[in-house]
Amino acid sequence: GLKKKEVNVLCLGLDNSGKTTIINQLKPSNLRLYGPLSDDWKHVSQTQTQDIVPTIGFNIEKFKSSSLSFTVFDMSGQSRYRNLWEHYYKESHAIIFVIDSGDKQTDRQTFFTCSLVFLLPPDICSRRMPVLLFANKSDLREAMSSVKVSQLLCLENIKDKPWHICASNAVKGEGLQEGVDWLQDHIR
């Protein structure tokens, strides 16, 4: 059949927001993607979310959608590694930005700083790079809705790039497919 188009995606967001958990769910070894799990398989999927540790630097992962073959740069969100982010914008076709929507520390200023970091590096300002945001940890009782998160991030001000926000629960894999479908439709 036709070879899938290869695209690079940069996965950004503060530490502990759930980036690696999301990417792990999208990887093909996760049987969750193929339907409800029988008890026999549950331990396989649990291992995939339990073994996750804070990312050092970044990891490179691959997964496929129906028409694209994704290479994801899963970056560390820790402040000491955030200077790595800018080196990968140039090669990227899209950004996945993950927010911990249950994080009480994630105040307006933090959001503002993050959004500046990922939206305004000088050499990509002019590029029409789709931005997919996950308002992750939607299962937490104190979680903000995706509408609330998009207000805090002032997403309506983004006019030069297509963007989309999905509520997600990365531990259960909920909301991720909607996001990947949107990405697939908006990457050129």
The residues binding ligand GTP (CB under 6 A) are: 13, 15-21, 49, 52, 54-55, 76-78, 98, 136-137, 139-140, 169-171
Residues forming beta bridges with residue 165, ordered by sequence position: 133
**Could you tell me the smallest distance in angstroms from the CB atom of residue 9 to Mg ion?**
14
Residue 146 binds which one of Mg ion, ligand GTP, none, with CB within 5 to 8 A depending on kind? none
Q: Which of 116, 132, 140 is nearest to 165 (CA)?
A: 132
Answer for the pair 86, 2: CB distance below 8 angstroms, yes or no: no
Cα 10–1–187 angle (5° rounding)?
25
Q: Which stretch binds Mg ion (CB under 5 A): 28-36, 48-56, 89-97, 113-121?
A: 48-56
**Could you tell me the smallest distance in angstroms from the CB atom of residue 182 to ligand GTP?**
18
Element (H, E) at 150: helix 146-152
User: DSSP class of residue 132?
Assistant: E
Residue 129 binds which one of ligand GTP, Mg ion, none, with CB within 5 to 8 A depending on kind? none
**Could you tell me the smallest distance in angstroms from the CB atom of residue 141 to ligand GTP?**
10
**Could you tell me the smallest distance in angstroms from the CB atom of residue 58 to Mg ion?**
8
Residue 151 binds which one of ligand GTP, Mg ion, none, with CB within 5 to 8 A depending on kind? none
How far apart (Å, rounded) are the C-alpha atoms in residues 177 and 100? 18
How far apart (Å, rounded) are the C-alpha atoms in residues 135 and 166? 6
Residue 57 binds which one of Mg ion, ligand GTP, none, with CB within 5 to 8 A depending on kind? none
Answer for the pair 24, 30: CB distance below 8 angstroms, yes or no: yes
Nearer to ligand GTP, 128 or 148 (CB): 148
Nearer to Mg ion, 28 or 54 (CB): 54
Q: Would you state the structure tokens that stand for residue 171, as one six-digit string?
A: 């531990």
Residues whose CB is less than 8 angstroms from the CB of residue 80 and which lie 6 or more positions away in sequence, other chains included: none
Residue 137 binds which one of ligand GTP, Mg ion, none, with CB within 5 to 8 A depending on kind? ligand GTP
Residues forming beta bridges with residue 58, ordered by sequence position: 75
Question: For residues 9-28, which are near Mg ion according to CB under 5 A?
Answer: 19-20
Footprint of Mg ion (CB under 5 A) = 19-20, 55
